[in-house]
């Protein structure tokens, strides 16, 4: 317990929350308390809040620590496995309900468990959601995250396509932000590139949210992905890249050492050229020279009795 609250209350999640819910809650708090978004007078309080939030997250995001915490406070019986089994059963029950009885809470429950389902059940869920969109388009805003999950999981279904074709207006900047964060953790260069290309397709439908695609586009470049998100921004909405955005990207590129990652550095230098061509009013700031490190004195062997000077 901290400040007479339990860790679940600190993060604002239920006691049977799964890891994805906990991660999303933590990310939301990080974003809300970021020093760039909080007024200067509120920064000390925001920093204190984040200390508490990070403490709770460190426990609840670690399976072993969470189990010990739950056992100590008689929560959930200390079993995360039973939580997953319970959610899987509930998901299968929800999918049997009449379409018109499905609620936002039902869809949220499925969202939290989708990563734990076997591939066949995942694809059944995604196809079921396509029918939900067709029958009840007002529920689509509760399905956007799972359309992105479909892409991250590389499922052989058309939920993402359906959202882009029929209800692109339900995609919000928060969903774009979370999708960009999830792509960072995707394994394999090819899979990363496929997901960045899908993000580029979203941009084509939602150019009004273009500024929220800038940071993922720089992630795309720094990770060495040869996909089309940055080039789509430069083609459709280059003016959304600010000087501050560009400075941060240049700083990241300067951290890539020629000696070790020459190919990656060359690729990112090319990206800088693309940006400056599309935005000639931007300028590349001078790279900071790293101060020379003082070399340590050479290690000396311990003198023997014969060589010791008295």
Residue 89 lies in a domain: yes
Residue 53 lies in a domain: yes
CATH number of the domain encompassing residue 56: 1.10.287.110
User: What percentage of residues in the chain have a pLDDT greater than 90?
Assistant: 63
Q: What was the pLDDT predicted at 80?
A: 62
Residue 310 lies in a domain: no
Q: Residue 182 carries which DSSP code?
A: H
Structural domain ending residue among the three candidates 31, 46, 76: 76
Reported pTM: 0.72
Which domain, by its residues, includes 108? Answer: 79-170
pLDDT interval class at 76 (50, 70, 90): low
Residue 295 lies in a domain: no
What are the C-alpha distances in Å from 304 to residues 29, 102, 181? Answer: 61, 84, 59
What are the C-alpha distances in Å from 268 to residues 212, 251, 275? Answer: 20, 11, 11
pLDDT interval class at 282 (50, 70, 90): very high
Q: Tell me the per-residue pLDDT of 17-69, one tens digit each, with 9 for 90 and over.
A: 888 889 989 988 888 887 777 788 888 888 888 889 999 999 999 877 887 78
Residue 3 has pLDDT above 50, yes or no: no
Residue 9, CA atoms < 13 Å, CB-side half-sphere = 7
Check whether residue 140 and residue 154 sit in a common domain. yes
Structural domain ending residue among the three candidates 139, 170, 201: 170
Residue 102 has pLDDT above 60, yes or no: yes
Residue 233 has pLDDT above 90, yes or no: yes
């Amino acid at each position: 317990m901290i400040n007479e609250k339990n860790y679940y209350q600190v993060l604002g999640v239920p006691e049977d929350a799964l890891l994805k819910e906990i991660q999303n809650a933590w990310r939301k708090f990080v974003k809300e308390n970021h020093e760039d978004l909080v007024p200067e007078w509120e920064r000390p309080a925001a920093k204190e809040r984040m200390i508490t939030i990070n403490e709770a997250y460190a426990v609840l995001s670690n399976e072993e620590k969470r189990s010990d915490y739950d056992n100590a406070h008689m929560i959930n019986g200390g079993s995360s496995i039973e939580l997953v089994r319970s959610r899987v059963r509930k998901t299968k029950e929800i999918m049997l309900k009449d379409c018109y009885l499905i609620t936002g809470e039902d869809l949220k429950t499925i969202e939290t468990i989708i990563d734990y389902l076997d591939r066949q059940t995942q694809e059944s869920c995604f196809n079921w959601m396509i029918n939900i969109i067709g029958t009840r388009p007002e529920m689509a805003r509760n399905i956007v995250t799972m359309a992105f999950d479909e892409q991250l999981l590389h499922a052989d279904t058309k939920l993402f396509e359906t959202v882009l074709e029929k209800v692109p207006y339900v995609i919000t900047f928060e969903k774009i932000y979370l999708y960009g964060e999830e792509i960072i953790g995707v394994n394999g260069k090819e899979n990363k590139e496929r997901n960045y290309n899908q993000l580029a397709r979203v941009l084509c439908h939602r150019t009004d949210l273009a500024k929220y695609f800038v940071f993922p586009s720089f992630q795309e470049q720094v990770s060495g992905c040869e996909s089309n998100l940055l080039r789509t921004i430069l083609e459709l909405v280059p003016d959304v890249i600010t000087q501050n955005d560009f400075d941060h990207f240049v700083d990241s590129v300067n951290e890539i050492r020629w000696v070790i990652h020459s190919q990656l550095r060359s690729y990112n230098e090319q990206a800088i050229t693309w940006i400056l061509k599309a935005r000639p009013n931007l300028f590349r700031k001078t790279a900071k020279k790293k101060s020379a490190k003082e070399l340590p004195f050479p290690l000396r062997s311990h003198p023997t009795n014969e060589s010791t000077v008295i």
